Structures are given as C-alpha cells and as structure tokens.
Structure 1
C-alpha cells in the first residue's frame, strides 16, 4: 500500500507554463485525505518553493520537501533541516576548471541564492535566476570558500552540454553525483546527495518502506528516486531513458499526467477498501 508519493516539479507536476492545474491541486488534497504523504522532490532551491507549497497546502506540520536535487531535506515550512550536504570548495574548483576546459560557464546555488564570479552573466544563469525568482550575486572566487554550495551548475546551449557529457562521464563519475536536469544545465552535487538517497533518508525517518513509495519524474535527476521507489512513473514527456527505467509511463505534463497517475492511485486504494 502506498504511503508516500514523491513528485518532481519542472516537467512533471508543473505544466509547460510552470503552473499547477486546478485539477491536480484538488487531487493532491484527496490523496492527502487518504493519509498518503505528498513530498516535493525538486532540483529547485527551497527558497523558491513557498508559493507552490502554499497552493498545495503543504505548509502544515509534518510535511517535508527535498530540494537542491537531494542536497537538502527540510520540513515544508523551512524551519527544520534534517539533512544537508554541501560541495567542498576544492571540489567546486574542480568543476569550475572543467567548465573552462569545456567552454561552459558556471554558477552555484546556495540557500543564500545564486552566485558566480563571472562578470558577464550567462543567459542560462539569468534563466535560472528567473525560474527561481532570486537575484544573481557576483562575488570574488575566494568568497565562495565561505558559502555553502549545494549545487555547482555548468550551463550552456544544449549542443555544448551534449558534447561535454562524454568527457564528464569518463573523468568525473566517481567524484561527484552529477546529472543533467534541463537541456541547458548540468549539475554537480556531493556523492551523498541525490533525490533517491535523500528520499531514502526521509522514508527511514518516517518508518516507510521503499515498496510503499510511488515516485513520478521526467529527467535524469529523477532517476535515483524512481529506482528507489516501489512504483515508478515516468511522464509522457520524459526522456526515453527515463521511460525505460520506470514501471509505468503516464501522460505528459501538458496533459496533467501527475493528476492522471494520482487518480489511478486513489481508485486503486478505494477498490482495495471496498
């Protein structure tokens, strides 16, 4: 029996306009009434989630959010952090130099915002700033030594990221947890941080087994949580590699695929009850 549903945001719960449908907001409340926890598992920083948490009424006691692609686990109010893992300054420098070799710009995400030492702001760094509704702070490189870095992001056109991936995979697989989150973003996190690992931490904290978890996602950064969950669902708009790994494929985020999957979950639970 499912006791927890872990849901990605961009490309999954949110439609292509970055919004929640009225239907999915209503269905999520129906799921919660069945004593099933809804946990947002996102690559976004926590500070950008307040409007969504409020719309979904997840700002109550005993609700949880996994943010920064698993680098932070907190309550949904942001009052208590149960787990956090930052990238060391030395490892950050390794990614910075790698980006320079590959012709990719960078920025980092911290609980204090988006930071870069680049004097010219990359268009994709600006996009991340708009997406998360936070300003970009330009600092001297050495200042980043004193800022908790949850994610280092190499940014650039899709074609540049495509070309960089083989070199990243051949040289850096064992030093970082890394993945592509959007066509223009390639992210580096500590080895101890991923959606799947932190979802496991949360379920152990709550006394929930992996076979009691349903996870829904669409991209590479969702793969670890899909592999952890007892039931995994890929969006219709998901990458083909993600669909191949999932137990089921639902409709796209344009077709409200999360709502479709949650309604199926509710119907199955009611069928068992009857």
Structure 2
C-alpha cells in the first residue's frame, strides 16, 4: 500500500546548516520510485524553499500550513491581510525588533533584521550543533536571502506569516495579547528555546493543511506518515497515522512519536524509511 509522507524541512530533511544529507535524498528518491508520495511540511514559505537545494518532491505545505501545493498546482493559499501586516510591521518597528515577511515571492526584512539577524542566526545554528565557523556561514547564507525594504514598502498583501526576533520571551507573550485573532508561535535555539516569534492567520496549522491536501488527493489519513523534530510539528502528529521524531528532535516531539530515528546527519531519514519498509 502506497503511503503519503510529510517531512518537516530544517532538522528533518536537511540539517541546520541547510544541507541535504545524501542518504536523505536517496531515501526520498527510492520511496517515490516505490510509489509513495513525499511532501515537505514546513514553516518556510516557497521563496525560502526555492533557495534550498532539495531533492524532487510531490509538493509542499509552506508557511506552517498557509500554502499547499501538489505537483505545481496551488491547492490552498491563505495569508495575512494587508491590514494585519501593517499592524505587525508597525508593532515590531516600535519595539525595535528585527523581522522578515515570509511571502512566496520573497523574504522581505526591515532595518533591525539586518542588525540583529546575523547574531541571532549564529545562535540558531550553534544551538542545533554547528561550530562557530559553520554557524557564521549558515547565518550569512540565510541573511543573503533577504530583500531589504523600508517604510510603507513593508505593508504587503502577499505575506504568509511574519517572523520576528525575540529580545526576550515577553515579546512573544505580548504578541499574543496584541494580535489575539492570529496564531502566535515561537521557534529557534537549542531544543525548544525561543529565538523568534511568528504570527500567521488563525486556523492555519500544519494539521489543517494536511487535511486540505488529503481531501484534494482523495487520500485516507490511515496512509499518512509524518516526520518532525520540533514542537511546531506536533500538529502533524495529531492528524497523521504514524509519526517519526528525529534523533536530534526536542523532548516534546520525541514523547509524541511512534518511533524515534537517528539524527538528521546520521542517516535519520534513510534509517526510518527502511524501518517502515518504505524502501528496500
């Protein structure tokens, strides 16, 4: 029986330096050759994914569920309103917080992101196991992907979600109060330590997007398998039939998993695909 496989990206399909392990690419290629469908299910928007050197896939869920694509066909796309984007942009700028707008057309950042982003992304990479040299390289690559905008040019109408640097955790708590009609998450750092907050449309989760895609495909939930490494992936686990946590994953995702594989850079995806008989 063919399966529908959902892969988180950072820390699952690729490592925290945005490198795709050869064994992971081989596993995906072999699984698809065996008749299984493989989709990424990520917080990244399409523009960020297109900067990554990934293997061939059947489609993607991006923006933590704001965007669903199957073989190039847009199944669903639900972003933030221009009014919400303006409110978030002004709120972050008033607090001097670096942020970037995640759109399918590109990643757009403010002045403070240029100042605060490099150090924050170094912390992110180091927290995931990179040494200082590799962390600096990963940070530079990430920052080079931004389009810098100022003033009203940041008031866009094509934004999936917005990520902003946390000067302290209180920024995230304050964002929940300031934007009660939106979904507020955190991400980054070692384990579940928060470096970023993000804000996206209400009702948009990885779980919802998977349900939308399954309905479009006419597929059954019992044929689904998900792979993740962080708390944000728990919504995938809520709706998929079988769930795999990466060895490099956080405590919460491991506790919720049916199976824990090895680390992303220790053939984690390949080993799990073999364990589940997705590949020979």
1:161-172 equivalence runs, <5 A: 161-168=168-175, 171=177
Residue 219 of structure 2 is matched in structure 1 by 208
State the shift of 1:93 in Å. Answer: 3.9
State the shift of 1:182 in Å. Answer: 1.8
Structure 1 Cα separation of the partners of residues 201 and 241 of structure 2: 25
Report how many residues are paired.
Answer: 257
Question: Which secondary structure does the structure 1 equivalent of 2:159 belong to?
Answer: coil
Q: After alignment, is 223-232 or 145-154 more displaced?
A: 145-154
1:1-274 equivalence runs, <5 A: 3-50=3-50, 55-58=54-57, 63-76=58-71, 79-96=72-89, 98-99=91-92, 104-118=97-111, 121-124=114-117, 127=121, 130-131=141-142, 134-141=145-152, 143-156=153-166, 160-168=167-175, 171=177, 174-183=180-189, 184-266=195-277
The verdict on how the C-alpha distance between 1:36 and 1:137 changes in structure 2, with shifts beyond 3 A counting, is same
Runs of 4+ in 1 over 6 A off after TM superposition: none
The verdict on how the C-alpha distance between 1:39 and 1:151 changes in structure 2, with shifts beyond 3 A counting, is same
Structure 2 Cα separation of the partners of residues 166 and 51 of structure 1: 31
Q: Give the helix-richer structure, 1 or 2.
A: 1
Q: After alignment, is 172-181 or 221-230 more displaced?
A: 172-181
Question: Which secondary structure does the structure 2 equivalent of 1:20 belong to?
Answer: coil
State the shift of 1:37 in Å. Answer: 0.5
Gaps in structure 2 of 5+ consecutive residues: 122-138, 190-194
State the shift of 1:137 in Å. Answer: 2.4
Q: RMSD in angstroms over aligned alpha carbons?
A: 2.9
Instruction: Note the alpha carbon deviations across 1:130-167, whole angstroms, 9 max, x for none.
Output: 338633221323x34443111111114xxx34343444
State the shift of 1:8 in Å. Answer: 0.7
Query: Contact between 1:117 and 1:139, CA under 8 Å: does it hold in 2?
Result: yes
